[in-house]
Amino acid sequence: MSLSTDFVNLPDMPRLTLANLTAPACLIGAPGSLASLDLTIEGGRIAAGRTGERVDMKGAMVFPALVDVHTHLDKSQIWSRAPNPDGTSDSARLAVAADRTARWDATDVRRRMEFALRSAFAHGTRAIRTHLDSFPPQHAISFGVFRELRAAWAGRIELQAVNLCSVDVLGDEAAFGAIADEVAASDGALGCIVMPHPELRPRLVGLLETAAKRGMAVDLHVDETGDPASTNLRDVAECVIETGFDGPVTVGHCCSLSVQEEAEALATLDLVARAGLRVVSLPMCNLYLQGRGTARTPRWRGITLVHEMKARGISVSFASDNTRDPFYAYGDLDMLEVMREATRIGHLDHSGSDWIHAFTTNPARAAGFPTPSFAAGAPADLVICPARSWTELFARPQSDRIVLRAGRPIDRTLPDYAELDDLMAPA
């Protein structure tokens, strides 16, 4: 089935009804897995009432434009000049640190972030939260570029930023204060990489206190490791409970849960639920990094305990994470790819019919973005795929999808990697 030619060539009608669409049932309050849906578009928004000129969509699947709640736009596309020599996390950190120190001026960061945004937009993403490396003095450069891009992309992709720094930086009051100033000026969330540290708990408390005083949300990298002794997720949950911090707290990765003893892992999840933490799983990047060894087949998938979280009412989202950098050599900020791979890696199939929330409503609520919806009055920002069922959707990459913004098809031409060739030359 081909939709693109007929649909894209439609005249710009004042009121148009897309008839015979297929939507995830849970997004429209219907029973089952999928349900038939007609959507009327008027003035760039979904309209109620009388129908307009009807177009038969032949059962094509439709989604609200998607939300990517954990990315690293500032690292995007550096693989060609800073490859990971062995695919491990340690090598990734070293490669990024060296490249950041040598190359990340405002021009370099801006061009690569712009490339990433063009890719995400073409694939159908409407909102992105990005972590920005904030090891001084990089924070001033990257947050300045971020604010410029957020203004330039307003109306196309809503952007939000989180600082990314180490627990060591949290212990430097002046340095962390300057970072928090940049985040506050950018209306962002406060974050850090949570790893074992003798002063971890008091520094986490300090971060939460800073966030509370400034009215900020919190977003943390936690337990991105295959070491079962890494139990920092428990530390985060307990600190949130003990301080009474009532702002949104998001935790990403949480990989070590999957290699801990069952009772210990589930007890931690009970605390996560009590603390109200929101979890973001990054299955593609963690599949790439975790369990890697020389000439050794990996024994686990790197994914966290998403089913056990969902069973406890914990909000679970999936996101892209890194793209073509030392932490993940692949990816293109395509949330349909994330959905397809998360389903395969995490066995989301045969386990309920509402996992679509993990790619739409859950990440939007975690970051405070507008909730994706088919309701009357919602923007007609849609992703339409020729697939008519989940198995058809996940069998192919849906390269011929249609992306609507304000009810009209966008040009889905992806940026050419050659555009960045001059940035990839040796330093």
Catalytic residues: 224
- Dist CA 103 CA 80 (whole Å): 13
Question: What are the distances in angstroms from CA 217 to CA 160, 204, 308?
Answer: 11, 14, 25
DSSP letters for 391-424: HHHHHS--TT-EEEETTEEPP-PPPPGGGGGGGG
DSSP letters for 325-348: BTTBS---S-HHHHHHHHHHHHT-
- Three state DSSP letters for 269-292: HHHHHHHCCEEEECHHHHHHHCCC
Question: What are the distances in angstroms from CA 237 to CA 68, 203, 242, 251?
Answer: 24, 14, 9, 10
Instruction: Say if residues 302 and 268 touch (Cβ distance below 8 Å).
Output: no
Task: Report which of 80, 89, 129, 128 is spatially closest to residue 108, judged by C-alpha positions.
Answer: 80
With b for 16 or more beta-carbon neighbours within 10 A and e for fewer, the 60-92 pattern comes to: bbbbbbbbbbbbbbbbbbbbebbbbeebbbebb
CA contacts within 13 A on the Cβ side of 41: 19
Task: Report which of 275, 270, 372 is spatially closest to residue 317, judged by C-alpha positions.
Answer: 372
Whether the ω angle into residue 137 lies within 30 degrees of 0, i.e. cis, is yes
- Dist CA 142 CA 149 (whole Å): 11
Q: Residue 273, exposed/middle/buried by CB under 10 A (0-12, 13-18, 19+)?
A: middle
Instruction: Say if residues 129 and 161 touch (Cβ distance below 8 Å).
Output: yes
- Dist CA 258 CA 230 (whole Å): 11
